[in-house]
Structure 1
Amino acid sequence: MKVTFNATGEVVVITGGAQGIGAALAVAVNAAGGTAVVFDVASPPAGVEHLKVDVADRSVVEDAVADVIEQYGRIDGLVAGAAVQPRSPVLELDAASWTRTLQVNLDGVVWACQAVVPHMVARRSGSVVVFTSGMASTGFPGAAAYAASKAALVAFAKTLAAEVAGERVRVNVVAPGVIDTEQFRGANAGTDRAHWEDTIGIGDPEDVVGPLLFLLSDAAAMTGSTLTRERAFAKLTSFVE
């Protein structure tokens, strides 16, 4: 079964969309006829609209959302993917690194939702997607701040979903699995990468685009759900006739 998405006239804000999954999604949204607007401190792929935004700064996020509303008059989707993933053992974790991780990974999602969702509520239409990680439930050596932020996001997203369900605004969570992005490569050098390759496998950013487009679309009549990608497709090919 082949699936296509039509995003003509729709506007999707993607935080952290300069690279990785967010960048792949931005390209796909534009290809489907929509307009992707990336909020990031770095520049996204050529042809993708970009506002330089540090999501940890609430006022900057609010101003950027106001700019999008002024230009397009609507925001149909919010994909809150901005994140940092420093590594440090818990007993060596410094306050600045801990705080910055929570500010970007958790606070940044809250600020984006607070700025965007009221516009969706006013139109009684919209979809929000946030990202969690398997580390949120299992932990991982050296990733305490990242894992904690991703665990908190699940509770936040499910709470927001319950609060705005009556307004026909959907909020869902994606656990994309291990994806070969610049951030992943920086956080999982050496033996860590080999571990992932030998167990669940490493996927590509494009592997997550389809599920994200689905959750952004009207076909996803669901909210407060977590969509999990457990294994890379390459690890399952031996089971396919």
Structure 2
Amino acid sequence: MKARFEADGDVIVITGGANGIGRALADAVVKAGARVVICDVDEKAMAAAEASNALIAARKLDVGNRDAVMATFAEIEKSHGRIDGLVCAAAIQPRNLIQDTPPEEWRRVIQVNLDGVVWCYQAAIRGMIERRRGSVIAFSSGLAHQGWPLASAYAATKGALIAFVKSAAKEVARHRVKVNLIAPGVIDTPQYRAANQGADHERWKNSIGVGTPDDVVGPLMFLLSDAASMTASVISRDFAYPAEDA
């Protein structure tokens, strides 16, 4: 069975969308007819995304800055008319032992990975409630359940997002707005490469496998679509196809 998605006229906002999974999703949804706004801090990658397709726009945004989020999303609503889908892919993953983690690093991970989702949700949800249509997707991780050495701050935010999304989804379900999570598994992105070099990469590759950003696009498009009737759910991708079978 082949899945086909139609998104004519939909407006999708993707934070952290200039690279990795977010960029792969942006390319896919514009092919389906949507307009995409990428919110990121990587200006070079954003410029490349905008140049690739007239349906992709970009806004420089630090999602941890609530005032900037509110202003940016208000401008998107004004210029594009609405926000139909919000995909919160912005995240950072510094590596450090817990006892060696500086307070400012801990706070910054919370600010981007957790607060950033909350602020973007707040900025988009009222319009979705008013229109009685919308889909919000946040990213969790297998590390939320199993933890990982040197990744305590990242794992903590991903665990907190599960509780946040499940609570938020129940608040807005009566308005026909969906809020879900995806745990994409180990995916080869710039962030992954920075955090998993040498032996770490070999361990992941030879155990559960390392997927590509395109592997996550289908589940994300499903959650954005009308075909996804669930809310407060987690789609978890725990294993990758072996490379030789791809």
* Interval containing the TM-score (normalised by the shorter chain): over 0.9
Q: For residue 203 of structure 1, what is the amino acid of its counterpart?
A: G
- Give the SS at the match of 1:128: strand
1:125-184 CA-to-partner distances (Å, cap 9, x unmatched) read 000000000000100000000000000000000000000000000000000000000000
- Determine whether 1:4 maps to 2:4: yes
Kept in 2: contact 1:177–1:228 (CA 8 A): yes
Alignment match, 1:210: 218
Within 5 Å, give how 1:41-52 maps onto structure 2: 41-42=41-42, 43-44=45-46, 45=49, 46-47=52-53, 48-52=56-60
1:49-78 CA-to-partner distances (Å, cap 9, x unmatched) read 100000000011111111111011111000
Q: For residue 209 of structure 1, what is the amino acid of its counterpart?
A: V
Q: In structure 2, do the counterparts of structure 1 residues 234 and 117 end up closer, same or farther at CA, with 3 Å as the change threshold?
A: same
Identity %: 52
**Alignment size in residue pairs:** 238
- Determine whether 1:101 maps to 2:109: yes
Within 5 Å, give how 1:19-58 maps onto structure 2: 19-42=19-42, 43-44=45-46, 45=49, 46-47=52-53, 48-58=56-66
Q: Distance in 1 between matches of 2:230 and 2:111?
A: 28
Kept in 2: contact 1:76–1:127 (CA 8 A): yes
Q: For residue 150 of structure 2, what is the amino acid of its counterpart?
A: G
TM-score (norm 2): 0.95
Q: Distance in 2 between matches of 1:104 and 1:10?
A: 26
Q: Distance in 2 between matches of 1:191 and 1:235?
A: 18
Runs of 5+ unmatched residues, structure 2: none
Q: Distance in 2 between matches of 1:102 and 1:35?
A: 30
Q: For residue 10 of structure 1, what is the amino acid of its counterpart?
A: D
Alignment match, 1:223: 231
Runs of 5+ unmatched residues, structure 1: none
1:169 to 167, 174, 177: 177
How far the C-alpha of 1:2 sits from its partner, in A, is 0.9
Moved more, 44-53 or 26-35: 44-53
Q: For residue 166 of structure 1, what is the amino acid of its counterpart?
A: R
Q: Distance in 1 between matches of 2:98 and 2:180?
A: 30
1:194 to 193, 196, 202: 202
In the TM superposition, structure 1's runs of 4+ consecutive aligned residues that sit over 3 Å from their partners are 235-238
Alignment match, 2:164: 156
RMSD value, Cα: 1.3
Within 5 Å, give how 1:48-197 maps onto structure 2: 48-197=56-205
How far the C-alpha of 1:4 sits from its partner, in A, is 1.0
- Give the SS at the match of 1:174: strand
TM-score (norm 1): 0.96
Q: Distance in 2 between matches of 1:189 and 1:236?
A: 22
